[in-house]
Amino acid sequence: MKVAMPHMGHIYVPLRTLFREVGVEMVVPPLNSRRTLTLGAKHSPEFVCIPFKLTLGNFIEALEMGADTLVMAAGPGLCRFGYYAKIQERILRDQGYHFEMVTTELFESKLMGVANLVKRLSNGAPTQKVLAAIRFGLAKLGTLDELERVLHQVRATEAEKGSADQVFQQALAAIDGADSRAALKEIKNRYLMKLQQVERDGETEPVVVGITGEFYVVLEPFSNMDLERELGRLGAEVRRTTFVSEWMKFSLFLNAFGLSEKDRIHQAAAPYLRRDVGGDGWESVGDIILHSHDYDGLIHVAPFTCGPEIIAQNIFPAIKTRIPVLTVICDEQMGRAGMLTRLEAFVELLRRRRARKGLAVAALVP
């Protein structure tokens, strides 16, 4: 059996570990590229969102590499994500591919659902072994997210642009190869130190830009034209609350005990939106209210035709927030030059607002 799953950020690293630990071969398709998107868009319904097109492209590339089992999250929900697996399966069969489609209802079945899925794919590996593999995969995921948070800070003030990313890429490869919890811990400490040691430009005072929006386009750099890296290049420090490790912690464990990471954000959104509108629309509205004092500005990333994010975008102008918001719509028609121009103008606007605020404060001090 050769198992494949779609890409979303660096989630392939913990997944590869998880499957390796239980003796299942995982086919990792090439990272998202123009080819992936072209393949996916060619076979997708025209108005479907970019996560559908890219994940379909991943499946095609994985099948070309010999994958015979495709794994996809599915299940009931308020947006079309719940139907992705069924529709993608039909499209791929129409194209003549032979494979088994395995779906998992993550939201419903939680940790035991994932364990049962891994058990099934591994032809009945012992439960202890499966749970240990999941724990090790989650530890890698947590390590990657911790390093990425530091990367966001360092990028904004590094003296030589790109140095922090080089360290992060080395860390990614080392974490991918780590074969024990002890090795992982050593790698984490080593690369946290290396990131902190990247030479900084002491003159730069970074503006802080929050990122919110639809889960997939926030986390998959190719889908948003790597906007976090571009913001870092422009000297802006990126902050976001969406990380896969956080989401997993609640979805797999804490939600089952009645704890939800979203209560606070939903309460904040309540004056403008009181119910779930599917996807991450409710959270996008809450995010801007909850963090308007932490950020200089907010970038809202939304896939073209995504209903939940269109609702959020239409609510933003009514929100009495003190920070500017820029919505970036992601799809295959998105142009790099136009996106970079908008980012440059946005960061410059935030710098000027901050400088004006500094002057106003200075005028008040006797």
Closest distance of CB 59 from ligand SF4, Å? 16
Asked if 245 and 138 touch (Cβ cutoff 8 Å), the reply is yes
Summarize as ranges the residues that interact with ligand SF4 (CB under 6 A): 49, 51, 79-81, 214, 216, 279, 303, 306-308
Angle at 148 between CA 224 and CA 358, to 5 degrees: 80
CA distances from 270 to 18, 210, 267, 302, 316 (A): 39, 20, 5, 21, 13
User: Shortest Cβ contact with ligand SF4: which residue?
Assistant: 279
If you count DSSP H runs as helices and E runs as strands, how many of each does the chain have, helices first?
Answer: 15, 8
Q: For residue 282, how many C-alpha atoms fall within 13 Å in the half-sphere facing its CB?
A: 18
Closest distance of CB 159 from ligand SF4, Å? 38
Q: Which is nearer to ligand SF4, 52 or 191 (CB)?
A: 52
Q: Directed axis angle between helix 307-315 and helix 281-290, to 10°?
A: 30
Q: Which is nearer to ligand SF4, 49 or 171 (CB)?
A: 49
Closest distance of CB 81 from ligand SF4, Å? 4
Closest distance of CB 304 from ligand SF4, Å? 9
Angle at 300 between CA 298 and CA 304, to 5 degrees: 165
Closest distance of CB 214 from ligand SF4, Å? 5
Closest distance of CB 82 from ligand SF4, Å? 9
Q: Which is nearer to ligand SF4, 59 or 216 (CB)?
A: 216
* E-only strand ranges, the chain: 2-4, 25-26, 69-73, 100-104, 207-213, 236-239, 297-303, 325-330
Q: Which is nearer to ligand SF4, 30 or 82 (CB)?
A: 82
Q: Which is nearer to ligand SF4, 215 or 250 (CB)?
A: 215
Q: Which is nearer to ligand SF4, 136 or 216 (CB)?
A: 216
- 3-state class (DSSP) for residue 71: strand
